[in-house]
A and B are shown apart, each in its own frame.
Chain A
C-alpha cells in the first residue's frame, strides 16, 4: 500500500542521514568510556587513598575533606576510592557473565535453531528449566554453598545468562533461516559450519550485542544485590552492593554513604540501558 511505501522510504532516508552522526549512541558510549576509565585508570593516576585498611579515627568524614573528596565510611576508608574499585568488580563480573552468555548461550541457541528437530527440542526444554528459575534465588543458594567470591558470583550468574542469550540467539536464527540467502547458501553446498560462521553469525551478532548491553545493566544490579546480602564480593573488598549495605545501617544519620555507591550504580546501569535501547531501535529500523 502506498502509505506503507512512503513510510519505508522515509525510514530509509533517516537511516542514511543517521549514519553520519548518531548522538543518541555516541553520547552514552562516551559516558560509558568515562565510567570505565574512571574505575580502572582513576585509582592509578589520581591521588586517591587505598579502598581498604582505612584508619577508624578518620571514619565518617564529610565530603570534600582533605584527601577524601567524597569523605570516608564507618571504617575510615575513602569513599571515592571504594566507589571506583567497586565499579571495577561490578564491571568485571558483568562483562564476564555476559561474555560467557554470549559465547556459550549464543552458540547453543544458534546451533539449536539451525539444526532444528529433536536436538532443538531437547536443548530448548533444558533451557526452559533454567529460565523458569527465579535467578536471584538460585544464585543466592549457589553463592552460599560455593562460598562468596568473585569467581563463584560469575559462575552463579552465568547459569542464567546462558539460557537467556540462547533464547535470543535461537529466535534470531529461526528468523534468518526463513530468508532466501540462507537457503541459497545451503543449496550451493556450503558446509554447515561455514553457513553458521559466515552467514549466520554476522547477522545475529547485532541482536546478541544489544541484548548483552541490556544484560550488563541487569548483572550489575544482581551482583549488587548479592553483595548487599553479603553473598557476593566478600566484605572488606569494595563493591557497590556491600557499600550500600554498610550505609543502610546508618541511613538516617549519614545518607551519603548510600547515595554515592547508589548514584554510581544508577549512572552505570542507565548508560548501559540507554545505549542498548538506542542501538536496538536503530538496528530494528534497518
Chain B
C-alpha cells in the first residue's frame, strides 16, 4: 500500500505492538524453549556421558592399566557423581565455557566458533538455492495444476526427495568436478581470501544439500497453493473481481502460503544442520561437521558434547524464530481475535 494520505492513517503501530497478542505469544514461546533447551542438554549429557561409562578407558585404549584409567578419570572429574558433573558442565556452558578439548587442549568454545562460519555459510547458501528455486517452480506448477510443468516438477521432486544427499554429492562431484572440471571436488577457500573462489568451493556442497530441500519445498508450496486455489472461498472472491490469474496466485494464494513455508523452513534447519556433517566430510570443508567427526574419531567426548549441544540449540532456536516470525507476520495473530 502507498504511504498514508490525508484521511487514512495507519495508527501508531508501535502502540498496537506493545498491547498486541504477539508480544504475549512471543513471551510464551520463549518460555517453552527454555525447558526444551535444558532437556536437550541433559539428554546429550546423559547419552554421551553415562551410557559408555568408561570414557577414560576408551580414551586410553584397551591396554591401559586400571591405575592409569583411574588417574585420568580423576583428572577429568569423571569420578564425581553424574549430577555434579552435569551441573558444573551446565554452569560452564551458561558462561560460554564448554570445556577443554581432550585431544588438542584448546577450549571447546573457541573450536566451535572457528568452525561455525563454514557451516553457517553452507546452510545459508543451501537455503538460498533451495528457496530461490522452489518458489518460482511451485508458482509455475500451481498456475496450471496437472499441466505439463506441474507433472514434471512433481516427478522431479519425488525423485529428488528419494536421493540421499551423500549420493547426490558424489554424483555432482563426478559430473561437475571430475568430468566438466567446473568446480573443485574438495577443499574450502575462506571468504576473506577470495569471494569468488569461496563461492566456487561451496557451490557443489550447497547444491547437494539444497536439491532435496528444493524438492521438499516445491512439493509443500505447490500443494498448499493448489489446495487454496481449489478450496478457498477468498480465491473465488478474488477471481470474481476480475483480476488476473497470476495476481490471484501471487497476491492471494502465495501470500497465505508464506506462513506455512516459514514454519517448515524453521523445522528444516535442525535436519539440515545434521546433513552438513556428511557433506562437509565428502567435500573436506572445515565446518562443525568435520569438527564433530574428528572429535568422534579421537574419542574427544568434551568436543562431541559441545557440538551436539550447539546443533540442538541451533535447531531449537530456528524453530523458535520461525514461530516468532509467524507471530509477527500473520495479522490474525499480530492483531489478535476480535
Binding site for B on A (CB under 8 A): 125-126, 128-130, 132-138, 140-142, 144-146, 217, 221, 224-225, 228-229, 231, 244, 247-248, 251-252, 255, 258, 262, 265-266, 269-270, 273-274, 277
B312 to chain A, nearest CB (A): 5
Please determine whether B40 and A129 come into contact, CB atoms closer than 8 angstroms.
Answer: yes
Binding stretch for chain A, among B18-26, B75-83, B156-164, B188-196: B156-164
- A–B pairs, 21, beta carbons within 8 Å: A129-B40, A129-B43, A133-B44, A133-B311, A134-B270, A134-B271, A134-B311, A135-B274, A136-B277, A140-B292, A140-B293, A144-B304, A145-B58, A248-B282, A258-B170, A262-B170, A262-B171, A265-B164, A266-B163, A266-B164, A274-B158
Please determine whether A132 and B162 come into contact, CB atoms closer than 8 angstroms.
Answer: no
Please determine whether B51 and A142 come into contact, CB atoms closer than 8 angstroms.
Answer: yes
Which residue of the partner chain, among A129, A134, A229, contacts B39 with CB atoms under 8 Å?
Answer: A129
- Contacts A126-B39, A134-B270, A140-B277 given: A225-B164 contact, CB under 8 Å? yes
Is B133 engaged at the interface, CB distance under 8 Å to the other chain?
Answer: no
A145 to chain B, nearest CB (A): 4
Residue of B35, B39, B164, B282 most packed against chain A (CB within 10 A): B164
Which residue of the partner chain, among A130, A137, A221, A247, contacts B308 with CB atoms under 8 Å?
Answer: A137
Is B275 engaged at the interface, CB distance under 8 Å to the other chain?
Answer: yes
Kindly state the separation between the CA atoms of A45 and B181 in the bound complex, as whole angstroms: 44
**Contacts of A225 on B, CB cut-off 8 Å?**
164, 166, 278
**Contacts of B158 on A, CB cut-off 8 Å?**
270, 273-274, 277
Please determine whether A129 and B52 come into contact, CB atoms closer than 8 angstroms.
Answer: no
Kindly state the separation between the CA atoms of A265 and B315 in the bound complex, as whole angstroms: 28
Which residue of the partner chain, among B51, B162, B299, contacts A270 with CB atoms under 8 Å?
Answer: B162
Is B167 engaged at the interface, CB distance under 8 Å to the other chain?
Answer: yes
A220 to chain B, nearest CB (A): 8
Is B307 engaged at the interface, CB distance under 8 Å to the other chain?
Answer: yes
Kindly state the separation between the CA atoms of A11 and B313 in the bound complex, as whole angstroms: 45
The A/B interface has a contact count, at CB < 8 Å, of: 128
**How would you classify the secondary structure of chain B's contact residues: helix, strand, loop or mixed?**
helix
Is B174 engaged at the interface, CB distance under 8 Å to the other chain?
Answer: yes
Please determine whether A224 and B315 come into contact, CB atoms closer than 8 angstroms.
Answer: no
Which residue of the partner chain, among A129, A217, A265, contacts B167 with CB atoms under 8 Å?
Answer: A265
Which residue of the partner chain, among B44, B167, B173, B275, contacts A136 with CB atoms under 8 Å?
Answer: B275
Is B281 engaged at the interface, CB distance under 8 Å to the other chain?
Answer: yes
**Contacts of B293 on A, CB cut-off 8 Å?**
140, 229
Is B178 engaged at the interface, CB distance under 8 Å to the other chain?
Answer: yes
**Contacts of A228 on B, CB cut-off 8 Å?**
166, 278
**Contacts of B39 on A, CB cut-off 8 Å?**
125-126, 128-129, 132
Q: A132-B319, A133-B315 are in contact. List 17 more A-B contacts (CB 8 A).
A: A129-B36, A132-B36, A134-B270, A137-B273, A137-B307, A138-B44, A142-B47, A144-B304, A145-B51, A145-B301, A146-B52, A224-B166, A244-B170, A251-B170, A262-B171, A266-B163, A273-B158
Kindly state the separation between the CA atoms of A160 and B190 in the bound complex, as whole angstroms: 35
Kindly state the separation between the CA atoms of A244 and B173 in the bound complex, as whole angstroms: 13
Binding site for A on B (CB under 8 A): 35-36, 39-40, 43-44, 47-48, 51-52, 58, 158-159, 161-164, 166-167, 170-171, 173-174, 178, 270-271, 273-275, 277-278, 281-282, 292-293, 296, 299, 301, 304, 307-308, 311-312, 315-316, 319
- Contacts A228-B278, A229-B293, A251-B174 given: A134-B273 contact, CB under 8 Å? yes
A260 to chain B, nearest CB (A): 11
Please determine whether A229 and B35 come into contact, CB atoms closer than 8 angstroms.
Answer: no
Residue of A141, A231, A269 most packed against chain B (CB within 10 A): A141
**Contacts of B178 on A, CB cut-off 8 Å?**
251-252
Q: For the complex of A and B, list the 5 residue pairs with the smallest distance between their C-beta atoms, beginning with the closest.
A: A129-B39, A136-B274, A134-B274, A270-B162, A269-B162
Kindly state the separation between the CA atoms of A228 and B169 in the bound complex, as whole angstroms: 13
**Contacts of B281 on A, CB cut-off 8 Å?**
229
**Contacts of A141 on B, CB cut-off 8 Å?**
44, 47-48, 292, 296, 304, 308
Kindly state the separation between the CA atoms of A247 and B282 in the bound complex, as whole angstroms: 12
**Contacts of B312 on A, CB cut-off 8 Å?**
132-134, 137-138
B36 to chain A, nearest CB (A): 5
Please determine whether A132 and B174 come into contact, CB atoms closer than 8 angstroms.
Answer: no
B27 to chain A, nearest CB (A): 18
B122 to chain A, nearest CB (A): 14
**Contacts of B174 on A, CB cut-off 8 Å?**
251-252, 255, 258
B29 to chain A, nearest CB (A): 12
Q: What residue of chain B has the Cβ atom nearest to residue A132's Cβ?
A: B316
**Contacts of A146 on B, CB cut-off 8 Å?**
51-52
Please determine whether B296 and A144 come into contact, CB atoms closer than 8 angstroms.
Answer: yes
**Contacts of B171 on A, CB cut-off 8 Å?**
262
Kindly state the separation between the CA atoms of A174 and B163 in the bound complex, as whole angstroms: 34
**Contacts of A262 on B, CB cut-off 8 Å?**
164, 167, 170-171
